[in-house]
Structure 1
Amino acid sequence: MVSWVRTVLGDVRPAALGVCDAHDHLFFSSPRLPGQELQHASAARAELAAFAAQGGNSVVQWTPYGLGRRAADLPPLSRETGVLVVAATGLHQAVHYDDETLTGLRGRLAEVFVAELTEGIGTSGVRAGLIKVAGGFHALDAHARWTMRAAAEAHHATGAPIAVHLELGTGALDVLDLLCGESGVLPQRVILGHLNRSPDVVAQLQAAHTGCYLAFDGPSRAHHATDWRMPGALRALADAGYGDRLLLGGDTTTAAARSVSGGPGMPYLLRRVRPRLEAELGEETVEQILTRNPGAAFAVDWR
């Protein structure tokens, strides 16, 4: 079996990803976050260039359906900066959409996901390389269950990995019960995001034991116990034999958070997070997390 990562410039072998920001956003726009949109191609280009200057080779954009992905802008940005980009299909939490959008997707959500994975996003011709969905705070509401079941259906049709926004890092085991237990998705095709926002090492170990991938993404926000606990959590997971299940990302979701606007942005992952983790885990383990693991997590035997 030959597996490929589906980028906006075409399918590549997993090793081509190199140093990968496994969860970030070049474009993002939600009515829930007015005035904080990521919508300027020039800023996205500058951010990718800054990431590349720190040694970055690829970025996985988790922006799903209806949230300003600007898919047509992604190929030229990738070519101009030399950074590979993976785009997403999927659906976020209900609060990010109006009722008309959600009503229009009833009865055809899995079909939309499959089309964006195999034919392209809108008229852009850019094919998505993953399915992004979202849970709630310590629970899965009806919207989350609907989107996750559709994601599982699309996965079974295409093989695409499913990446999950965990609200404040919670609900991982409920997500795995639905996707893997109920819907038959293999755990190694599931990527759980934002685990750093809920530093429950026991729950993280339980999730890792299933075989899924665990993404630690985004520098500290107010009231989030992230940066200072993340190295210890990653060490516990690596020491338990799950070093090959870990991913790192920047999760830049607002214009002010970009490095070109004075925030940490994508380069922070390599400029500050990487050396901090190397001191805790060793260079070899961090290299595995940033390079080999993303290639395995996002590679698919596309059907």
Structure 2
Amino acid sequence: MSAVRTVLGDLPAGRLGVCDAHDHLFFGSPRLPGQELNSRSAARAELEAFRAQGGDAVVQWTPYGLGRRAADLPSLSRETGVHVVAATGLHQDVHYDETTLAGLRNRLAEVFVAELTEGIGTSGVRAGLIKVAGGFHALDAHTRWTMGAAAEAHHATGAPVAVHLELGTGALDVLDLLCGELDVPPHRVILGHLNRSPDEAVHRLAAGAGCWLAFDGPSRAHHATDWRMPGAVRALAEAGFGDRLLLGGDTTTAAARSVDGGPGMPYLLRRVRPRLELAVGEDLVARILTENPGRAFAADWP
């Protein structure tokens, strides 16, 4: 049976509820010194604030080596009543030291599969998606390596592959690689950060290929084109692609959390949802927040 793999076990897609399809409870990178998301109490507060706005599920895209704190996720999910999905995968090389990357060189796909089927480290928490990343208008050697491993892991498990697009660029090149060369079905690919490059032609081509398009902001560290997002969503809906869209908050820094004065997870439902309802209507926004994530993140797990 197709199900979403949460940190508390597999969940039928129809029971996922209102979902923040791309966010972070824990995250730490040398590129954002002093802004690490490493507080359990703050993570719980964000989940509770999201729940108070009607949220039911959060998909954490934090991949290998960036402070996922997988062992904390089940208890946070139980305490707040919010379903949580964890990720395996690997970000851009600038987020890692050479020793970490060298240690993964000949076993990356193996690590991904193990984290999807057996658990992350000793936590026993199984990941429910594979997160990888492209570069700015480019696919470098690191990207090709990580996406190759992601494709292997997908073919072994059926897991969805979620892609960080640097400033929203490179979507079509990513699809050429993942879905063309590496034979990952387009409906198993989620393209993130498309709000950062509001090119309607690229959006329509990507949606027409059959993948998922994630509009995942705002975040204080990544503010760019929030005001153009409703128009981009409306254009895709009018072109018949409303069933391919996802929404997320992508909270990547401590300053972006609501408990620290930023928009945080609740902003998605408190402000983004009603703004989008004006653009495309309540019914479509409800489907984008519930039905679409259930289908995007569900898999027939081995």
Establish whether TM, by shorter chain, passes 0.5.
yes
CA RMSD of aligned residues (A): 1.0
How far, CA to CA, are the matches of 1:175 and 1:108 in structure 2?
A: 22
Return the alpha-carbon distance in structure 1 between the equivalents of residues 222 and 142 of structure 2: 27
Distance in 2 separating the partners of 1:223 and 1:111: 32
**Alpha-carbon contact 2:189-2:211 (below 8 Å) kept:** yes
C-alpha contact (below 8 Å) 1:252/1:258 kept by paired residues: yes
Q: Secondary structure, in 3 states, of the residue corresponding to 2:131?
A: strand
Q: State the alpha-carbon separation in 2 of the partners of residues 42 and 168 from structure 1.
A: 30
Q: Deviations over 1:204-249 (max 9, x none)?
A: 0000000000000011658854221111100110111100000000
Residues 138-184 of structure 1, C-alpha deviations (whole Å, 9 max, x = no match): 00110001000000000000000000000000000000000000000
Question: Who is 1:217 aligned against?
Answer: 216
How do 1:281-300 residues align onto structure 2 when only pairs under 5 Å count? 281-300=280-299
Structure 1 residue 53 corresponds to structure 2 residue 52: yes
Instruction: Work out the CA distance in 1 between the residues paired with 2:198 and 2:83.
Output: 31
| 1:80-116 C-alpha deviation (Å, 9 max, x unpaired) | 0000000000000000000000000011000000000
Equivalence for 2:106: 107
What letter corresponds to residue 262 of structure 1 in structure 2?
A: G
Question: Who is 2:232 aligned against?
Answer: 233
In structure 2, distance between residues paired with 1:68 and 1:118:
20
Shift of 1:289: 0.3
- Residues 93-242 of structure 1: pairs in structure 2 closer than 5 A: 93-219=92-218, 224-242=223-241
Q: TM-score, normalised by structure 2?
A: 0.99
Alpha-carbon distance in structure 2 between the residues aligned to 1:59 and 1:32: 24
| Preserved CA contact (<8 Å) 1:8 1:127 | yes
TM-score, normalization by structure 1: 0.98
Unpaired runs of 5+ in structure 2?
Answer: none
Partner of 1:229, secondary structure, is helix
Is the 8 Å Cα contact of residues 221 and 256 (structure 2) preserved in structure 1?
A: no
Offset from partner CA, 1:40-90 (integer Å, 9 cap, x none) = 100000000000000000000000000000000000000000000000000
- Segments of structure 1 that go 5 or more residues without pairing to the other structure are none
Residue number in structure 1 paired with 2:77: 78
CA distance in 2, matches of 1:235, 1:18: 23
State whether residues 135 and 175 of structure 1, in contact with CA within 8 Å, keep that contact through their aligned partners in structure 2: yes
Q: Distance in 2 between matches of 1:157 and 1:177?
A: 20
Give CA-to-partner distance per residue, 1:225-284, whole Å, 9 cap, x none. Answer: 422111110011011110000000000000110001110000000000000000110000
Amino acid at match of 2:102: T
Q: How many residues align?
A: 302
Alpha-carbon distance in structure 1 between the residues aligned to 2:258 and 2:71 = 23
Identity among equivalent pairs (%): 82
What amino acid does structure 1 have at the position aligned with 2:237? A
Distance in structure 2 (CA, Å) of the matches to 1:132 and 1:223: 18
Say if 1:220 and 1:227, in contact at 8 Å, map to a contact too: no
Cα-to-partner distance string for 1:110-139 (whole Å, 9 max, x where unaligned):
000000000000000000000000000000
Report Cα offsets for 1:179-202 as digits up to 9, x if no partner.
000000000000000000001000
User: Which residue identity does 1:260 align to in structure 2?
Assistant: V
Deviation at 1:31, TM superposition (A): 1.4
Distance 1:100-1:220 versus aligned 2 partners, 3 A rule: closer
